[in-house]
Amino acid sequence: MLATDPAGRIRTEFGIGNRPSAHFARVVRAVAQPLQGTVYVIEHLRRLRQFGLIALFHQRRVPPGPVTPPYPYAVTSPPRPAEPAEPAEPAGARLVGAGLLVPCLDTSERPYRDLDCAASTPALQAVADKVADFLPWYSSVHRGAGYKSRTATTAYENARESAHRFAGRAAEDGNVVILCRNTTEAINQLAYRLRLEPDDVVVSTVVEHHANLLPWARVAQRRWVECGPDGTFGVDDVTKVLDAGRPPALLAITGASNVTGWLPPIDQICEEAHVRGIPVFLDAAQLAPHRRLPPGPDYLAFSGHKLYAPYGSGALIGPRDTFTTGDPFLAGGGAVDLVDLDEVIWTEPPEREEAGSPNVIGAVAFGEAMDELERIGWEEIQRHEAALSVQLHEGLRSIDGVRVLGPVAARDTTTLSVAAFTVEGIHHGLVAARLSAEFGIGVRHGCFCAHPYLLRLLGVGPAGVADARAAVLRGDRSTIPGAVRASCGLGTSSDDVDALLAALRAVIHGGPAPVAYEQDNVTGDFWPAGQARGWGDSDRPAGAACARG
């Protein structure tokens, strides 16, 4: 049996009968089989005592028939009894990087527990495989006569068809899929293409991500749906704002909060908006990985990086008529039929909205991720995540000193497996830093690009907001109000949630930290003192901080 270290720590590659491949494969039996592929040998020699040989074999896809030499080595080891364990993910869901070991302050290496899926998800193995298979065929799209170009164009357009299916919006019904970078770009593009007047009104909510707040301020007036102390609002709250004053040109609303995981009643809200003749845009970035997309919104957008396809692609979907007239958001090659020095004839959508050379690799990954989630099945995904949501919320609320923000998630509620919380007496940045440095657990801290919402959840009044504003203006982010967020996905197991809860108890009630932590006032982040492997001065990340956003 060829075995792989659960950490996946690959250090040496031996291409045998095949060029090395960047993606991994399942453990395969190699007894009395001629094989072609690549053997990856793992760094941790101490595990030789356990396995005999530690390697990962990636088998080349070979057509039926005799296999020609050279062959890789066929390695055997005594059979080991199966160890019963709860699956870490729903049936059929395999993720790249599962089980990676990360260094901790006590010099040990622990399996990385990724509880930051609401920010970005790891790649599905099927997505990585699809990208690896496509890479040799990568070429320009739409305007090339060569075979590779035609193949790449087909792959790119297949991804568009996947988005149509995933969203339940067929092109035959007058819908168009515009492939773009992410949800933020999609919302900016829609804000431009709706051709709103400065005195038009867009209704949105205080629950929104900044991506669904800021673009509308550039093009129209805004009215807000407020939330209650638990961070929720009802259909009546929305209709009151829709009916207050000038009729809105648009309702822009999230499908799921990226802070609390709360799911607004989108179907009923869309019905009320449409009765009033108001179109609805849905920010589905946080919803799309967890639920089938609702049919009610007129426009929606979502991102591949939250959908197990972290290759830089997303989609804006809406009625074709919106994009058939007027200038596109981006002007350039591929968006035109004819150009003269004083005239341009724009082509039809979606190409009209996709000027420039597109991210073909990202689109291929994006399309495969949507197809793979459909193959796994929404019932299976929801079953897996519903259990984690209850375990996460109930577990956090059982710890003295922890305050969970947002609605109380119980077994009969519809809340994603996302929880934002604070710890009494401990800065949110320090909690996140200790979970990472001491326990190998990845969470997020700060305001999660949803400042208005989080400030309401935290109960920060005008004086607190003024203090934070003054500190930021002088370059000090150390006192920005914030919280810690843990978020689950397909690769999250019950053991991962248990590990988080145990680590939090240790941080809160287990005595002082093993080392001092220093806060950087410019970023607001904390870093352990000393030079432990993986946590020395040279390991400190450069760039923006969690406190920003």
Average pLDDT estimate for 242-253: 97
Which H or E run includes 290?
none
Q: What pLDDT score does 541 carry?
A: 82
Range in 175-184, 270-279, 441-450, 534-543 the model is least confident about: 534-543
74 confidence band (pLDDT: 50, 70, 90): very low
Buried b (16+ CB within 10 A) or exposed e, 429-444: bbbbbbbbbbbbbbbb
The pLDDT score that the predictor gives to residue 497 is: 98
Res 262 pLDDT > 50: yes
Instruction: Quick: pLDDT tens for 154-172.
Output: 999 999 999 999 999 999 9
At residue 26, does pLDDT exceed 70? no
| CA 480 – CA 549 distance, rounded (Å) | 11
- How far apart, in whole angstroms, are the C-alpha atoms of residue 327 and residue 24? 45
511's CB contacts (< 8 A; 6+ apart) are none
Query: If you average pLDDT over every residue of the chain, what do you get?
Result: 85
CATH of domain 130-327+360-375: 3.40.640.10
Contact 356, 330 (CB under 8 A): yes
Beta-carbon contacts of residue 343 (< 8 Å; ≥ 6 apart): none
Q: Are 140 and 348 in contact (CB under 8 A)?
A: no
104, 449, 488, 546: the active-site residue: 449
Fill in the DSSP letter of residue 173: G
Condensed to tens digits (0 to 9), the pLDDT of residues 122-139 reads: 999 999 999 999 999 999
* Tens digits of residue pLDDT in 216-233: 999 999 999 999 999 999
Task: Show me where the domains of the chain are located.
Answer: 1-84, 130-327+360-375, 377-539
pLDDT beyond 80 at 35: no
Span of 5-14, 124-133, 234-243, 281-290 with lowest mean pLDDT: 5-14
Please report the pLDDT score of residue 426 as a whole number: 97
Residue 34: pLDDT over 80: no
Architecture (CATH level 2) of domain 377-539: Alpha-Beta Complex (3.90)
CA angle 283, 182, 274 (to 5 degrees): 25
Whether residue 449 lies in the annotated active site: yes
**What share of the chain has pLDDT > 70, as a percent?**
81
Q: What is the pLDDT of residue 58?
A: 40
Average pLDDT rounded to a whole number, residues 469-495: 95
CA atoms within 13 A on the CB side of 84: 0
pLDDT at 85 exceeding the cut of 80: no
pLDDT of res. 191: 98
